[in-house]
Amino acid sequence: MAIVVHHLNSSRSQRVLWLLEELEQPYEVIHYQRDSDTNLAPPELKNAHPLGKSPVIEDDGRVISESGAIIQYLCERHGGSDWLPRAGTDEYVSHLEWMQFGESSFFVPVMLKLFLARLGEAAAPVQPRIDEQLSAHIDFMESGIGDNLHFVGDGWTAADVLMSFPAEIALLQGYGEGHPKISRFVEKVHSRPAWQRARKKGGAYFVW
C-alpha cells in the first residue's frame, strides 16, 4: 500500500513530498488547508494525529509524526541510504546536528517572531532579543552551507531535505540579501525535478 502523507499547504510537510519524489516512492496526499484568517492548521488534522500537526505519514499500518523522524525513516526504509552519511564518519555527526537544529533550535525564534507579530507594539520589550536570536541562527546556517551548497559533505543528504524549510523561512523573513549561500541553496533545491513534481502535488506553497 502506498505511503499516505497528511499534508498542510505552505508548511514543513512540503519537503516530505520532495523526498518521496526523490526516492521514487508511490504516495497519496491528503490535503489540509490553513485557515485563511488565522493561518492555523484546520482541526481535521487531529484525526490524523493527536497534536493536529503536519506532516504526519502512514506507512505499513503505522502513523509517524515529527518531520525529522519521518525524513530519517523514509531514507532508511524506502531506498534513501544514499541520503544518509555512513555511521562513524565526521559527516555522520554533522548530519545528526543539522537534523536536530532544523527542527529545534531554529524554530524557537521563528515561532516567537510569528506569535509576537500578532501582538504588535505590545511585544516591543522582547522583540530585540528574538530578532537577535533569529539573525544568529540564520548566520549560523549560512556558515554551515559548503561551497558546493550542501549542509553535509559533497552531495545531497537528508539534512539538505530537512534544512530546506528553514532556508526558505530565512528568505521569507527577508534574510536573503545578506545570506548568499542560503539563497543559492534554496535555488538549487527548487531546481530539482523531484522538488518541482512535489510542488505541483502539494498545492499552494508560500511564494514559490
Toward a second copy, which CB reaches closer, 85 or 188? 85
C-alpha cell at 139: 548566520
Residues 182, 185, 189, CA angle at the centre, nearest 5°? 140
Query: Which positions from 29 to 68 touch a second copy by CB under 8 A, shown as an x/- string?
Result: ---------------------xxxx--------x-xxxxx
- Count helices and strands (H / E) in the chain: 8, 4
Among 125, 128, 174, 193, binds a second copy (CB under 8 A): 125
- Report in angstroms how near the CB of residue 186 gets to a second copy at its nearest: 21
CA-CA distance, 157 to 152, in Å (whole number)? 7
Ordered DSSP codes for 101-114:
HTTTTTHHHHHHHH
- Per CB under 8 A, residues contacting a second copy are 50-53, 62, 64-69, 72-73, 76, 87, 90, 93, 96-97, 99-101, 103-105, 107-108, 111-112, 115-116, 118-119, 122-123, 125-126, 130, 136-137, 139-140, 143
